[in-house]
Amino acid sequence: MSAYILPIIFVALFCYSKYKKINTYSTFVKGGKKAIPLVIDIFPYIATIMIAVALLRVSGITILLAKFFSPIFTFLGVPSQLIELVLLRPFTGSGSFALLNDVLIEYGADSYISRCACVILGCSETIFYVTAVYTSQTKVKRLLYAIPIALIATVVGSVVACLICKII
Amino acid sequence: MVVLSICFLVFSNPSLMLSTMIGASSDALKLAVELCGVYMVWLGILEIVEESGLSQKLAKLLHPLIKWLFKIDDEETEKMIALNMSANMLGLGNAATPMGIAAMKRLDDGSGVATHAVIMLIVLNATSIQLLPSTIIGLRASAGSATPADIILPTLISTICTCIVGVFLVKICGRIREKLKHKKTAIRIKNNGGRK
């Protein structure tokens, strides 16, 4: 079902643009031209944040952090097997998806743990990556309370996720 | 953070440091090449949306919401934010990025400190509502789940929770910040008056 949504939107869009008498081909090309300059602009930021994340993981700090935070998360009702996932999620998208895959295989796709993991991943975002990329083209240096709020909201969402999975 | 992790590595396995850094940056390059392709498609589509006047309609539709969230009144920025939010809701994070960056450029006041609207945009993107977690459903299906789509409802509920908590915290902090600013200016005025 969900696979049909994008194709339908695209076809509708192309028909609409024809109806508005726009040259779809040249407009598409015109927009696409901006892609490579944009990527060149944001590449250093992506690379730096990925280097920092890789260093964090290899050095074992994430494991220490997981140990440190695990009492808090167990208290809030997050299964202890998923704490690493919750902590890794704000930093890396591909890394947390790889971890999700491990969880799915280890505990079975329909187990409580796996469903929890899926919902947690579905309600959260790669906060640090998003922030780095979005602010890369501005002069903003001090973000004040942006990241703490995003993290708090994500933790609340994860706790709610585990609760709901228990009920449903 | 980086310094701390390097210090840790020195104790555990110093030879890993450089290889990790280089490995990560070449991963980033791979990602960047992929993003070139993704952005090419989405920026092309975006241009069509823009030229056909659809983005204006979308912005008008979301105008009350955006005005309440961001406290701005600028049509061009509103258009970008509207597109960014819609793409995020469809679960197209990579399609939302170019629009988000464009909106961010327009919201930045150049003072170096994040304004209320900048913070709101970051938090909205970091806690965005996802209507269809298609990647996750796909992963579940390939792991042999009997009902891969039954996570949609729980995901929807918790993603809405995340978003609401984020938005309200930003709103509250924005209020407090405004009050502090008022106090500061009030004190300054008082002091100036006293000297005179």
How high is the ipTM of this complex?
0.84
- B37-50: average pLDDT: 89
* Residue A17, domain member (yes or no): no
E-assigned strand segments in chain B: none
Q: Is B53 part of the contact surface with chain A (CB cutoff 8 Å)?
A: yes
3-state helix, strand, coil in chain B (%, to 5): 85, 0, 15
- The total number of structural domains that make up chain A: 1
Q: What is the pLDDT of residue B5?
A: 66
Q: A92 — alpha (psi -120 to 50), left (phi > 0) or beta?
A: beta
Interchain pair B122, A143: CB under 8 A: yes
Instruction: Provide the 8-state DSSP code for A141.
Output: -
Instruction: Find the range with the poorest average confidence among B18-22, B103-107, B130-134.
Output: B130-134
Q: B113 pairs with which residues across the strands?
A: A142
Q: What is the pLDDT of residue B179?
A: 87
Q: Residue type for B135, please? A: T
Contact (CB, 8 A) for B90 and B131: yes
Banded model confidence at residue A69, pLDDT cuts 50, 70, 90: confident
Percent residues over pLDDT 90 in chain B? 14
* Residue A21, domain member (yes or no): no
Q: What is the pLDDT of residue B196?
A: 45
Banded model confidence at residue B137, pLDDT cuts 50, 70, 90: confident
Q: What is the pLDDT of residue B165?
A: 92
- A134-155: average pLDDT: 87
- Which residues are CB-neighbours of B187 under 8 A, at least 6 positions away? none
* Residue A14, domain member (yes or no): no
Phi, psi of A157 (to 5 degrees): -60, -40
* Residue A149, domain member (yes or no): yes
- A84-93: average pLDDT: 83
Domain ranges of chain B: 29-141+149-195
Phi, psi of B172 (to 5 degrees): -65, -45
Encode pLDDT of B86-102 as tens digits. Answer: 888 877 778 888 999 99
- Which residues are CB-neighbours of B85 under 8 A, at least 6 positions away? B62, B66, B96, B124, B128
For residue B11, pLDDT over 70 is answered with no
Banded model confidence at residue B167, pLDDT cuts 50, 70, 90: very high
Helix (H, G, I), strand (E, B) or coil at A142: strand
Q: What is the pLDDT of residue B54?
A: 87
Give B-chain residues touching A17 at CB under 8 angstroms.
Answer: 48, 51-52
| CA dihedral of B11, B15, B19, B24, whole degrees rounded to 10 | -10
Interchain pair A34, B98: CB under 8 A: yes
Higher pLDDT, B78 or A92: B78
- Which residues are CB-neighbours of B1 under 8 A, at least 6 positions away? A52, A56
Q: What is the pLDDT of residue B9?
A: 67
* Residue A58, domain member (yes or no): yes
Q: Residue type for B116, please? A: H
Q: Which of A149, A21, A59, A102 is nearest to B172 (CA)?
A: A149
- A14-40: average pLDDT: 89
Q: Is B95 part of the contact surface with chain A (CB cutoff 8 Å)?
A: no
- A27-32: average pLDDT: 90
Domain of A117, in residue numbers: 33-167
Encode pLDDT of B67-82 as tens digits. Answer: 888 888 788 888 889 9
Q: Is B176 part of the contact surface with chain A (CB cutoff 8 Å)?
A: no
Banded model confidence at residue A83, pLDDT cuts 50, 70, 90: confident
Alpha helices (runs of H) in B52-115, residue ranges in sequence order: 54-70, 75-89, 93-107
For residue A59, pLDDT over 80 is answered with no
CA–CA distance, B128 with A96 (Å, rounded to integer):
17
Q: Is B133 part of the contact surface with chain A (CB cutoff 8 Å)?
A: yes
Q: What is the pLDDT of residue B90?
A: 77
CA–CA distance, A160 with A119 (Å, rounded to integer):
10
Give me B163's structure tokens: 């978003």
Q: Is B97 part of the contact surface with chain A (CB cutoff 8 Å)?
A: yes
Contact (CB, 8 A) for B19 and A55: no
Interchain pair A101, B139: CB under 8 A: yes
For residue A165, pLDDT over 50 is answered with yes
Give me B101's structure tokens: 């960056």
Encode pLDDT of A110-128 as tens digits. Answer: 888 888 999 998 888 888 8
